[in-house]
Amino acid sequence: MRFFEFQTPKVQKPLSPAQARLRSLRDQAKRAQAAIKAERARQKIQAGQMDLAKVESTHRKKSQSYKTIYKMNNPYTAWVSAGTYGDFNNALSMALRKKKAGAVAVQIVDNAKMVVYSS
């Protein structure tokens, strides 16, 4: 055993009314600081959620369309459009029909001209 383990704990005397009031005020100030910190964090989260909702709502307003393009005989020929569709499933259906009909390459491109599907 170590020496400090043999020592008896110090006995705390009861606080005087003035000391108790000071300790109470200090504890109250700490709780208030913690509440302020929590409220600021809550407000930051709420502001972030509002920004995210705003971005998502503007993103949803843009209608998504998909364009199906293909190369029929030769991979070095120009892309030919098979149509523009409002949803991905219809565009994919047309792309698969063109592939089955003998197209060498088929792609589906979205509004931002990003290739979504390629075969």
pLDDT tens digits for range 98-117: 999 999 999 999 988 899 99
**Residue 61: its pLDDT value, please?**
57
| Burial group, residue 117, by CB count within 10 angstroms (0-12, 13-18, 19+) | middle
Nearest to 104 by CA among 85, 84, 77: 77
Residue 76 has pLDDT above 80, yes or no: yes
Proportion of the chain above pLDDT 70, given as a percent: 91
CA distance 105 to 118: 7
Q: What are the tokens at 77?
A: 């020929």
Q: Give this prediction's pTM.
A: 0.49
